[in-house]
Amino acid sequence: MKILLLILGNLLVGSITLTWGVGMMGQGLEQLNTKTMKKILTKYTSNVLSAFATGTVATALVQSSTAITVLTVSLVNGGLLTLTQAVGIIYGTNIGTTITAQLMSFPIMDLGVYALPLGICIYIVGRKKDLQHIGTTIIGLGFMFLGLKILNFSIPYIRNSQVAYTLFATYGQNPFIGLIVGMIATMLVHSSSATIGLTIVLFNTGLITYPSAIGLTLGDNIGTCITAQIASIGTHVSARRTAWAHTLYNIIGVLIALIFFRPFLQLVTKTTVFLGQSNERLIANTHTLFNIMSALLFLPITPYYVRLIRRIIPDRPKYAKSYRKHSLK
């Protein structure tokens, strides 16, 4: 019983620290670049390709696809961006956010010990707001690595606990269970990067299989859409279309990946081997390749996808027209 409580305590503290760190890092980068992001998103998104490139770069700078997506929804709501431009940005945000997963896949968790005091010093000494934002970003980075370190503390205890190990052995092998868990977990913490970090730890220590880890990763992509949906409540129809364009884009991408599950698994494995990387990079590469392939698939059909979204979310609900006709009678 004590071991189970210790495992649950470590998982809870590690997950909270990781989520907090990712959020703080994103917040620091967002505050550092918010004004610049608004200018970039409205200035360099004249067509789908430029919007795609801009979304990728903007999210890579901010390291929060949620922040850029919500900002995009607000810009569309304000009439500063069209739905087509917003869709291009969304393609890019999914790729830009994968840098965090790539960073977490390297064995550099011990850097958290040095990043935390460095970030705190910069934040305290820095008189200008930009320096304080940089300090916040580094503190967040430190907490992110510290969270991963705490999560790793649980692994020996899980292996020694018959109940915990049986639980992971039973439910940690199914990609569909992983999909649901990844989706719900990301909806709760509002950070796909945090749940990807947990997936990396569980897979690299052998507690879940690669297919199950892919399921968790795909679920993360769907779960992250909840924030955009919340941000679109009570907004103009164009903003709601943007939120649904983000949601359906990820859902369709996940469904395609599930249909071609084995070929997708083999592609990621072969790519990792081709790049001369170890299996510890598989999850991060899965996350990156999935989002690159989704973007490449959707870019040529963007005009048709935009039409589909316009049909799903019409300018005026059908019931409003029927009610109007009825009232005229």
DSSP 8-state code for residue 299: G
Structure tokens at 96: 């830009």
Cα–Cα distance, 235 to 79 (Å, whole number): 11
Residue in 128, 135, 122, 137 with CA at minimum distance from that of residue 27:
137
Residue 206 Ramachandran class (φ > 0 left, ψ -120 to 50 alpha, else beta): left
151-164 residue pLDDT tens: 777 777 666 666 66
72-122 residue pLDDT tens: 888 888 888 889 999 999 999 999 888 888 888 887 777 777 888 888 898
* Higher per-residue pLDDT: 189 or 243: 243
247-266 residue pLDDT tens: 999 999 999 999 999 999 99
Q: Which residues of 37-69 are buried (b: 16+ CB within 10 A; e: fewer)?
A: beebbeeebeebebbbbbbbbbbbbbbbbbbbb
Task: Report whether 60 contacts 25 (CB < 8 A).
Answer: no
Q: Is the pLDDT of residue 301 over 90?
A: yes
Q: What is the DSSP string of 207-223?
A: SS-HHHHHHHHHHHHHH
Task: Report whether 196 contacts 104 (CB < 8 A).
Answer: yes
Cα–Cα distance, 221 to 291 (Å, whole number): 9
pLDDT at residue 34, rounded to an integer: 66
241 Cβ partners below 8 Å, 6+ apart?
76, 83, 309, 310, 313
Terminal C-alpha separation, the chain: 71
CB atoms within 10 A of CB 284: 26
Residue in 176, 172, 222 with CA at minimum distance from that of residue 199:
172
Kindly state the average pLDDT of the residues 212-217: 90
Rounded to 10 deg, the angle between the 83-96 and 237-259 helix axes is 50
DSSP 8-state code for residue 265: H
pLDDT at residue 316, rounded to an integer: 65
Tell me the average pLDDT of the chain: 83
Cα–Cα distance, 170 to 243 (Å, whole number): 36
Predicted TM-score (pTM) of the model is: 0.81
pLDDT at residue 323, rounded to an integer: 38
How sure is the predictor about 4, in pLDDT bands with cuts at 50, 70 and 90?
low
Greatest mean pLDDT among 13-27, 153-167, 290-304 = 290-304
CB atoms within 10 A of CB 265: 17
Q: Is the pLDDT of residue 175 over 70?
A: yes
Task: Report whether 245 contacts 228 (CB < 8 A).
Answer: no
| Type of residue numbered 292 | I
Most distant pair of Cα atoms in the chain: their distance? 75
Q: Is the pLDDT of residue 326 over 80?
A: no
CB atoms within 10 A of CB 292: 15
Give the domain ranges of the chain.
2-317
